[in-house]
């Protein structure tokens, strides 16, 4: 069931979004070649505890970790691993869902480890731009297909990448996965019509080669590209409003000024990012 959120609920989701965004701010402080992906998990758990946020992925359908850490040809749902040591030039995708006082947020960010090759930086730039192109379609009266259509055209037709079909965005709140499904591919004018108060995620997963995924990993979770190409992902939680789409997981309210719901967001982010930076200092 799709629920339209009240201003009170949106503000509560802002707070959760700032808590999650601050995790990414903290990670940027210490992620580098030579550390293990488990250190990301360790940091996230310690930070969430200090921030009073709940790691909602732990226990979800048997998943055991606060984060998903997927590297290079891994599209999504990679486990954080002690033996997975980041190398110079790697591309890591870090995804998580948290709640604060029962309100949810979901965001994935991609990190170039050390010095990435120009072709990988281009993949990151195109994927991130496609995220915001999709978000710009999230206005009342548009349809779900409008979001995916602009992402697919830009990533596949204009840049020759593969736009993953097997995993999509979704509604969020009162649980982490709600209707509607929000594909990052599709056709203009198709699908559910967007309404003010809808809270959804937009999360393009873009591959250097084919869009197809290999989901045969024995873990039942990890998905890789079918051809071994590299994959990138960016994701925001947002709300549809009568003033346009408002991002609830921004890491930079100044750069994202037109997408910020209200002045409270910057206050929440400042509070949580100070906690994140303090915890991250112990991982440098």
Report pLDDT for 11: 97
Q: Which residues does 98 contact at the CB level (< 8 Å), separation at least 6?
A: 16, 19, 20, 23, 48, 53, 54, 55, 56, 104, 105
Task: Provide the pLDDT confidence category of residue 17 given band limits of 50, 70 and 90.
Answer: very high
Backbone dihedral angles phi then psi of residue 104, each to the nearest 5 degrees: -105, 155
In a domain, 218, yes or no: yes
Percentage of the residues of the chain whose pLDDT score is greater than 90? 99
CA dist list (Å): 238 to 40, 54, 241, 280: 25, 19, 9, 26
Report pLDDT for 78: 97
- Chain segment 70-110, per-residue pLDDT in tens: 999 999 999 999 999 999 999 999 999 999 999 999 999 99
Conformation bin of residue 244: beta by default, left when phi > 0, alpha when psi is -120 to 50 = left
In a domain, 181, yes or no: yes
The CATH number for 26's domain is 3.90.230.10
Interatomic CA distance for residues 14 and 247, integer angstroms: 9
- Chain segment 194-211, per-residue pLDDT in tens: 999 999 999 999 999 999
pTM of the model: 0.98
Report pLDDT for 132: 98
- Chain segment 127-162, per-residue pLDDT in tens: 999 999 999 999 999 999 999 999 999 999 999 999
The two tokens of residue 187 are 């056709």
Q: Which residues does 67 contact at the CB level (< 8 Å), separation at least 6?
A: 40, 41, 44, 55, 57, 80, 94, 95, 96
Average pLDDT over residues 149-176: 98
Report pLDDT for 228: 98
Residues at the binding site are: 77, 95, 106, 170, 177, 203, 235
Interatomic CA distance for residues 132 and 136, integer angstroms: 6
CA dist list (Å): 36 to 41, 50, 101, 129, 136: 9, 22, 31, 28, 36
Residue 188 has pLDDT above 90, yes or no: yes
The two tokens of residue 243 are 């003033």
Tell me 85's DSSP state: B
Report pLDDT for 1: 85
Tell me 78's DSSP state: P
In a domain, 1, yes or no: no
In a domain, 49, yes or no: yes
Residues at the binding site for a divalent metal cation are: 95, 106, 170, 203, 235
Q: Are the CB atoms for 243 and 117 separated by under 8 Å? A: no
In a domain, 11, yes or no: yes
Report pLDDT for 238: 98
Residues at the binding site for substrate are: 77, 177
Interatomic CA distance for residues 107 and 20, integer angstroms: 7
Report pLDDT for 83: 95
Spell 204-225 as b/e; 16+ CB within 10 A means b.
bbbbbbebebbeeeeeebbbbb
Place of tokens 């549809």: 240
Report pLDDT for 152: 98
Report the number of distinct structural domains present in the chain: 1
In a domain, 2, yes or no: no
Q: Are the CB atoms for 71 and 35 separated by under 8 Å? A: no
Interatomic CA distance for residues 127 and 116, integer angstroms: 15
Range of the domain at 152: 7-283
- Mean residue pLDDT across the chain: 98
In a domain, 171, yes or no: yes
């Amino acid at each position: 069931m799709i629920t339209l959120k009240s201003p009170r609920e949106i503000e509560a989701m802002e707070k959760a979004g700032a808590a999650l965004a601050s995790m990414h701010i903290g990670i940027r402080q210490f992620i580098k070649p030579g550390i293990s992906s488990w250190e990301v998990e360790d940091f996230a758990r310690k930070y969430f505890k200090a921030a009073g946020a709940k790691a909602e992925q732990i226990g979800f359908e048997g998943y055991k970790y606060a984060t998903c850490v997927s590297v290079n040809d891994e599209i999504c749902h990679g486990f954080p691993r002690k033996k997975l040591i980041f190398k110079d030039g790697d591309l890591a995708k870090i995804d998580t869902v948290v709640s604060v006082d029962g309100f949810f947020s979901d965001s994935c960010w991609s990190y170039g480890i050390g010095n990435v090759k120009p072709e990988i930086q281009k993949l990151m730039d195109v994927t991130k731009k496609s995220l915001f192109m999709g978000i710009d379609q999230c206005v009342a009266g548009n349809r779900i297909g409008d979001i995916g259509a602009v992402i697919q055209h830009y990533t596949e037709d204009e840049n020759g990448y593969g736009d993953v079909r097997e995993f999509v965005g979704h509604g969020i709140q009162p649980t982490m996965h709600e209707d509607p499904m929000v594909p990052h591919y599709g056709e203009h004018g198709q699908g559910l019509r967007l309404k003010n108060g809808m809270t959804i995620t937009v999360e393009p997963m873009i591959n250097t080669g084919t869009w197809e995924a290999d989901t045969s990993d024995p873990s039942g979770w990890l998905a890789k590209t079918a051809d071994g190409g590299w994959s990138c992902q960016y994701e925001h939680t947002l709300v549809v409003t009568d003033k346009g789409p408002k991002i609830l997981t921004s890491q930079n309210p100044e750069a994202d000024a037109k997408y910020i719901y209200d002045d409270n967001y910057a206050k929440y982010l400042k509070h949580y990012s100070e906690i994140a930076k303090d915890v991250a200092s112990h991982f440098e």
